[in-house]
Structure 1
C-alpha cells in the first residue's frame, strides 16, 4: 500500500455523505477526506467547520478540476448520478457512486464504458454486502449448514403509515421509490449470493392510504432460480415490534433473523468506527438456526458475526486504488441489479412474470 494517502472528494453534504461515507473515509489511513462539494453551507451545516482543513467547493465542475483529487464519491440524488459521475470520470478521477447506481441500466452501462475508456476505477456503494447478518447468513449457505436452499426471504419492512415530509426519498423522480432505494440493497445481496435469476415477478405500488403523489412506497419481488425461489420485500404497513429480516430454508436447516443490521442506527446516534461497540449486535437480536439431522429438528440461537463492517468497503477500495485487487463492488454487478429492478417494475406494470 502506498505511504501517501489518496485524496477523496465528496459530492454532496447531506445524510448519505455524513453518515455512510465520511466516517469510513476517515477510518481508513490510506484515504484522506480532501474536499467536499456543498452548494449552500449554513452556519450550523458547513463541511469546512465540521472538518477543518478540507477544501470546500460550490460545484462539482470546480472540484474535478483540482489535480490533487484522486477519487470522487457521488452522494447526491439518483437522478444526478449519471451527470456527476461522468464529470468526474472524464476528469480522470476514480469514482464511487452511491446506490442506486443510476435510474436505468442503459445509463449504468454508459458509465462503465466511460470508466474503461478513461482507465479509472468505478464502483457502487452497495454497503449492505457488509451487513453482519448478511455475512452470517452467507457463511451458513457456503459452509453447507442449510444444505440445498429452496426458499430465501429477505425483508426490509417498517410501519410508517404516514409519509415523511421534506425528504427527496418520498418524491417521485427517476431512480426513486422504494424499489430503487431499499430494493437495490436486497436485490444486490441476492445477486451477490446466487447470481442472476431466470425470471422476475414484481408487485410494486403504495401501501399508504393517503398518497397524492403516487409515490411507490412498497414492493414484493419474486426472483425465480432453478430449484430456488427468492422473495425480496419492503412494506410500510407492518405493525410489528420485531420485523422479519431473513427467513431462509434448505434441506438441512433454516435460518430466521429479525431486526436490521445495527450499523445504520449506531451511525445516526454518533457511534463511529473504532468505537468498541460499533457493528456489534446485542444478543437479543441474534438469529435462530434450525438444523435437521437424523430425522430430528433442533434449534439454537446463532451469534451474529462481527468480523466485518462498512469500513471494509473503503478498505477494499483503497487497496484497489493502490493496484492491490478489485473494487469492492463490480459496476457490472450493480448494472445487472438495475436491470433486475427495471424488469420488476415492468413485470408489475404488465401483471406478468418476465424472463431475464
Structure 2
C-alpha cells in the first residue's frame, strides 16, 4: 500500500483528490497539511499536520500530492523529490519550462515518479471525444474545437488566484487542460498561435484566451473565457465524413462537491440529455443521431499512478507531453509580451 501525504485541502485536495485516495485500495491517505479540521466521518484514519516539512520527514510516506498555490509548485516539488518522495502535482506543474525540465531530470536521477494531475483526460466528454475520433466514423479529422468557458464575473475570493504571479491566470489554469487534451490526441503541433485577454472588471490577470494549434491539415482551436453566460458546444470535431458536437461539462467535480464519491452508484455519469450528436456518412449512407457519453472516471489516473509507483508501469501522463504543454503556454505568454 502507498502511504500518501497531501499538501493543501482546498477544492483540488479536498474534493478532487482525497476521495480517490480514500476509496482506492492501493493508497492510504495518511496525512494532510491543512489549517482545517479533517472530517473524520470521511477520513477516519487521516491525520492533520501543520507543515509540509512534516511529510518530508515522515519516512513511511511514499507519495506526496501537491495541491498548493501554483507559484509554490516548483519549490515544493523539488524539496519532495530531494526527500525521496514520489509526487503527484496539481497542474500546471510549474510556471516555466526550465523548471519542469529540472524536476523531471531530478526525478529520473533519484528513480522517483512525477505525475501531473491532468484529470481532465478522464472526463466523460473527452473520453467520448477520443473514442469517436478513434472509431473512424468522422473520417480524417480536419478541425477540432474545444471550449472551457464559465460565467464568473466576480473576482475569485482566493486572492492568490487573482494576483499577477508566475503560473497564475486562465492560460495556466484551464488552458493547461485543453492543451494537454490536444497533445494527448494529436501530439506536438507544428505551429502555435495564441492570445490572452483580460475581460472581467477589476481583473489583473488574463481571464480569457484563444489558441490555434497547427497540425498541417488539422487545425485545433482552443478557447476559454470567464465571461460566457450562454455557453455553446464544449467540443466540435469535423472530419472528412462527418461532425461530432458535444455540449456540457463533465459532472465529476459537481458530484464530488455534492458529496457523491467515486465508489458510489451513478458517479461520473451525466444525464442522457447531455449526450453528444453525430452526423456522418458511412458507405454512402447519411447517418445522424446521439452518441452515448462514457462515464467520467478520474480514478483511471490514480490506478495508473499506483501501477507506475509499485510496478514501474508505463505512465499515461508522460513527461514529454507535460513539457510540450508548458512549452506551448510559454510561447503564448512570450508572444503576449
Report the TM-score, using the length of structure 2 for normalisation.
0.95
Alignment of 1:176-255 (within 5 A): 176-208=168-200, 210-211=201-202, 213-240=203-230, 242-255=231-244
Q: 1:125 to 1:166 in 2, by over 3 A?
A: closer
After superposing on structure 2, the runs of 4+ consecutive aligned residues of structure 1 that deviate more than 6 Å are none
Structure 2 Cα separation of the partners of residues 80 and 23 of structure 1: 23
Q: 1:151 aligns with which of 143, 159, 172?
A: 143
Alpha-carbon distance, 1:215 to partner = 1.3
**Aligned match of 2:309:** 321
Displacement of 1:278 in angstroms is: 0.3
3-state SS of 2:333 partner: helix
Q: Which residue of 1 aligns with 2:156?
A: 164
SS at match of 1:32: strand
Separation in structure 1 between the aligned mates of residue 108 and residue 43 of structure 2, nearest angstrom: 33
Q: Per-residue displacement from partner, 1:254-277 (whole Å, max 9, x unpaired)?
A: 110000011111111111111111
State how 1:49-198 maps to structure 2 within 5 Å: 51-198=43-190
Q: What corresponds to 1:288 in structure 2?
A: 277
- In structure 2, the partner of 1:353 is none
CA deviation vs aligned residue, 1:219-277 (integer Å, no higher than 9, x gap): 0111111101111110122221x542000000011110000011111111111111111
Alignment CA distance shift 1:294-1:316 (3 Å): closer
Per-residue deviation, 1:19: 0.9
Of stretches 46-55 and 77-86 in structure 1, the one that deviates more from structure 2 is 46-55
- DSSP 3-state at the match of 1:26: helix
d(CA) in 2 for partners of 1:234, 1:298 = 31
Question: Which aligned pairs between 1:6-21 and structure 2 lie closer than 5 A?
Answer: 6-21=2-17
1:69–1:93: 8 Å Cα contact kept in structure 2? yes
Q: Structure 2: which 5+ residue stretches go unaligned?
A: none
Residue 28 (structure 2) pairs with residue 32 (structure 1) = yes
Q: Aligned-pair RMSD on alpha carbons? A: 1.7
- Distance between the aligned counterparts of 2:160 and 2:284, measured in 1? 52
- Match among 315, 331, 334 for residue 343 of structure 1: 331
Q: 162-171 or 70-79, which moves further after superposition? A: 162-171
Tell me whether 1:264 sits opposite 2:263 in the alignment: no
Moved more, 294-303 or 334-343: 294-303
CA distance in 1, matches of 2:274, 2:48: 41
**Contact 2:279/2:286 (CA < 8 Å) preserved in 1?**
yes
CA separation of 1:141/1:83 partners in 2, compared to 1, >3 Å: closer, same or farther? Answer: same
Q: CA 1:172/1:50 → structure 2, altered by over 3 Å: closer, same or farther?
A: farther
State whether residues 141 and 238 of structure 2, in contact with CA within 8 Å, keep that contact through their aligned partners in structure 1: yes
What is the CA-CA distance between 1:172 and the residue it aligns to?
Answer: 2.2
For structure 1, which segment, 174-183 or 264-273, has the greater mean C-alpha deviation from structure 2 after superposition?
Answer: 264-273
Residues matched between the structures, number: 337
Q: Distance in 2 between matches of 1:57 and 1:177?
A: 30
